[in-house]
A and B are shown apart, each in its own frame.
Chain A
Amino acid sequence: AQTVTQSQPEMSVQEAETVTLSCTYDTSESDYYLFWYKQPPSRQMILVIRQEAYKQQNATENRFSVNFQKAAKSFSLKISDSQLGDAAMYFCAFSDANRDDKIIFGKGTRLHILP
């Protein structure tokens, strides 16, 4: 069974600095997708970025980028130039590319931005 692990329950970063959130996963599949979601205090879940496992190039969305290491089964999220609005819970998620199965979420990392 697939699992997703976020080993950092909480992190803090100074405003304008860069922070990296870790995510590791376990699967026997070779074709899958990975996601990062953000949950601000409003509780509304927002998709931040996604990555196809068959693509070697790391996904980037403005200040958000990932470091996808398929062999190591690692999918970290880098936030550059951190802003106060980035304070939120961040969840890593996994979906299988070929089977109708559940989408797996990690336990989340709470990110604090220090002014």
Chain B
Amino acid sequence: NAGVTQTPKFQVLKTGQSMTLQCAQDMNHEYMSWYRQDPGMGLRLIHYSVGAGITDQGEVPNGYNVSRSTTEDFPLRLLSAAPSQTSVYFCASSYTSRGNYEQYFGPGTRLTVT
């Protein structure tokens, strides 16, 4: 198993550009989620999905879109990048959000918006 993979590892964008952060898991997990991590702010949930075709907003969804057309993939789209979106982004998955299941995290993407 590759676990949870994220690409790219690093990215620099100019203000106004768009891009997609890729996340994939090969563990047949129902639950997937995206977090951003900023100094002093902990992990903030952006969007999550409890299964293919189902997504919902987290704590800080503005400026981001997601879709879940397959169980394996959960891409995060930045529509028009802003310097406030400079952060480290983590994708995570678990068998389900209900219960005693460990969340598996990807290695993270460091995004800088200039």
Task: Write the residues of chain A forming the contact surface with B, with a CB cutoff of 8 angstroms.
Answer: 6, 9, 33, 35, 37, 43-45, 47, 50, 52, 91, 93, 95-108
Alpha-carbon separation in the docked complex, A108 to B39 (Å): 10
Contacting pair B102 A50 (CB below 8 A) = yes
Contacting pair A95 B56 (CB below 8 A) = no
Alpha-carbon separation in the docked complex, A97 to B43 (Å): 21
Contacting pair B97 A102 (CB below 8 A) = yes
Against A, the Cβ 8 Å flags (1 = close, 0 = not) of B71-114 are 00000000000000000101010101111111101011000000
Chain A contacts of B103 at CB under 8 A?
35, 37, 45, 47, 93, 103
* Interface pairs (22), CB distance under 8 Å: A33-B100, A47-B103, A50-B100, A50-B102, A93-B103, A95-B98, A95-B101, A96-B97, A98-B98, A100-B30, A100-B51, A100-B96, A101-B50, A102-B58, A103-B31, A103-B97, A103-B103, A104-B45, A107-B40, A107-B43, A108-B42, A108-B43
Alpha-carbon separation in the docked complex, A97 to B18 (Å): 37
Contacting pair B33 A44 (CB below 8 A) = no
What's the A-B contact tally at a CB cutoff of 8 Å?
69
* Chain B residues touching A, range: 20 to 34
Contacting pair A107 B41 (CB below 8 A) = yes
Known: A95-B99, A102-B48, A102-B56. A43 touches B108 (CB 8 A): yes
Q: Sorted from nearest, which 5 A-B pairs have the closest CB atoms?
A: A107-B42, A45-B105, A100-B50, A108-B42, A105-B43
Alpha-carbon separation in the docked complex, A47 to B101 (Å): 10
Alpha-carbon separation in the docked complex, A33 to B100 (Å): 6
Residue of A43, A47, A91, A98 near B102 (CB, 8 A) is A47
Chain A contacts of B41 at CB under 8 A?
107
Chain A contacts of B102 at CB under 8 A?
35, 47, 50
Who on chain A is nearest to B108 by CB? A43
Chain B contacts of A93 at CB under 8 A?
103
Alpha-carbon separation in the docked complex, A96 to B33 (Å): 16
Alpha-carbon separation in the docked complex, A97 to B30 (Å): 15
Alpha-carbon separation in the docked complex, A37 to B94 (Å): 14
Within the complex, the shortest CB–CB distance from B83 to chain A, in Å, comes to 22
Known: A9-B40, A105-B43, A106-B42. A99 touches B105 (CB 8 A): no
